[in-house]
């Protein structure tokens, strides 16, 4: 749910990075944070376990520029990917404005990807949302690994809705900003549609 | 999903006045108001070195987690949460079912005083948010005028 503040002329929207454990959600957000000018970003908060697995969420606010005299700010969140953190995932999904699904391209992670997409669908349905109506972008991450599955196959399994898709290598930033820009555009277009 | 929360200057000023008075009357260091999605609404008191954006997001996370716990034990919601520290304490409460009111205080105040003042402030804030929600529903069509070019221009640099 976007927050429009006429006092400081700001719009704030919430984007959630979703996907199975170790697919690179946090790496996406860390790359964006590291590559963004200091004045355009807030602190990156990671509620993680001692082994740096996301326990609750990662979060940081990002300023993207002005639109019709309003500053746009995006709050980027990641969810914990491991299956047993579903209660936390549900909390973070509440009132979102856009979703990025980060899929792990490795062959052996395809089941985990499918399970995570299904989990996203279920959790959105539980809160009365439909994935087809939410600004949504698919990212095929870890394209540099030798065991990466063909994109065609991933598309067939994970992206039946035909959401905009990007190939990525998050630790080196390949595809990371392209993904973010696309979801931000969709969120703003959605904002227009709903006013 | 796509509902919005719109704040106009008039309500912002009213909210700020309530928060400033609460800071004074409760002898608080900081009074902070955010919504359940982690958006900062207002912050008064000693806020110079406070990362209010992070605070808003973490408070929302905390209220969400507490709500999750409440559900598991068949409780509706925890209306108040209290953290006691060595120096500073944090009192968190929910106003009008959707806004999080946070009071940070030290030994110059007490939990009893804070709770008393929060109760009064919450009633006033609830009235302001009622007005805000009404205005949000009637809605400003501001963004209906955004064009594809406006959106593309944001990303062209």
- Residue ranges of B 44-83 with Cβ closer than 8 A to chain A: 51, 53-54, 57-58, 61, 64-65, 67-68
Q: In the prediction, which pLDDT does A17 show?
A: 97
Predicted ipTM of the assembly = 0.79
Residue of chain A whose Cα is closest to the Cα of B52: A42
Interface contact flag, B150 A56, Cβ < 8 Å: no
For A168, left (φ over 0), alpha (ψ -120 to 50), or beta? Answer: beta
Contacts of A48 in chain B (CB under 8 A): none
Render A42-77 in DSSP notation, one character per residue.
---EEEE-TTS-EEEEEEEEEEEEEETTEEEEEEEE
Provide the residue ranges of all domains of chain B, joining segments of one domain with +. Answer: 9-154
pLDDT digits (tens, 9 = 90+) for A13-31: 999 999 999 999 999 999 9
Read off the tokens for B52: 């209010």
CA distances (Å), B152 to each of A68, A131, A136, A157, B2, in order? Answer: 12, 24, 18, 31, 21
CA distance linking residue A27 with residue A49, whole number of Å: 15
Question: CB under 8 Å to A80, separation ≥6 — which residues?
Answer: A21, A53, A54, A55, A56, A57, A88, A89
3-state helix, strand, coil in chain B (%, to 5): 50, 20, 30
Read off the tokens for B74: 């068949």
Q: Which fold has domain A3-186?
A: Rossmann fold (3.40.50)
Provide the residue ranges of all domains of chain A, joining segments of one domain with +. Answer: 3-186
CA distance linking residue B153 with residue B150, whole number of Å: 5
Q: Any bridge partners for residue A106, and if so which? A: A148
Spatial contact of B21 and B121, defined as CB atoms under 8 Å apart: yes
Interface contact flag, B37 A1, Cβ < 8 Å: yes
Q: Is the pLDDT of residue A2 over 90?
A: no
Q: In the prediction, which pLDDT does B139 show?
A: 54
Q: Which fold has domain B9-154?
A: Beta-Lactamase (3.30.450)
Q: Is the pLDDT of residue B26 over 70?
A: yes
B5 three-class SS: strand
């Amino acid at each position: 749910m976007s927050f429009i503040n006429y006092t400081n002329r700001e719009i704030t929207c919430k984007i959630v990075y979703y996907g199975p454990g170790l697919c690179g959600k946090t790496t996406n957000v860390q790359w964006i944070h590291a590559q963004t000018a200091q004045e355009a970003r807030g602190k990156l908060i990671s509620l993680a376990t001692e082994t740096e697995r996301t326990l609750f969420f990662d979060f940081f606010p990002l300023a993207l520029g002005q639109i019709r005299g309003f500053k746009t700010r995006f709050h980027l969140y990641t969810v914990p990917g491991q299956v047993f953190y579903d209660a936390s995932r549900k909390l973070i999904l509440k009132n979102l404005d856009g979703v990025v699904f980060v899929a792990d391209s490795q062959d052996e992670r395809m089941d985990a990807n499918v399970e995570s997409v299904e989990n996203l669908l279920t959790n959105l349905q539980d809160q009365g949302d439909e994935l087809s109506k939410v600004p949504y972008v698919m990212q095929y991450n870890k394209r540099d690994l030798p065991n990466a599955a063909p994109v065609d196959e991933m598309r067939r399994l994970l992206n039946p809705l035909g959401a905009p898709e990007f190939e990525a290598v998050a630790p080196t930033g390949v595809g990371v900003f392209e993904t973010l820009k696309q979801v931000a555009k969709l969120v703003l277009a959605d904002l227009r549609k709903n006013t | 999903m796509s509902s919005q929360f719109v704040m106009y200057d008039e309500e912002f000023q009213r909210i700020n006045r309530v928060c400033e008075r609460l800071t004074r009357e409760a002898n608080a260091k900081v009074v902070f108001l955010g919504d359940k999605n982690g958006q900062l609404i207002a912050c008064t008191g000693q806020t110079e070195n406070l990362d209010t954006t992070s605070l808003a997001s973490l408070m929302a996370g905390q209220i969400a987690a507490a709500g999750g716990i409440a559900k598991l034990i068949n409780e509706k919601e925890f209306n108040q949460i209290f953290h006691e520290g060595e120096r500073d304490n944090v009192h968190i409460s929910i106003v009008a079912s959707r806004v999080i009111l946070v009071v940070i205080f030290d030994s110059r105040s007490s939990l009893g005083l804070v709770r008393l003042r929060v109760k009064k402030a919450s009633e006033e804030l609830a009235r302001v948010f009622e007005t805000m929600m009404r205005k949000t529903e009637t809605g400003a069509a501001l963004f209906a005028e955004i064009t594809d070019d406006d959106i593309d221009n944001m990303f062209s640099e």
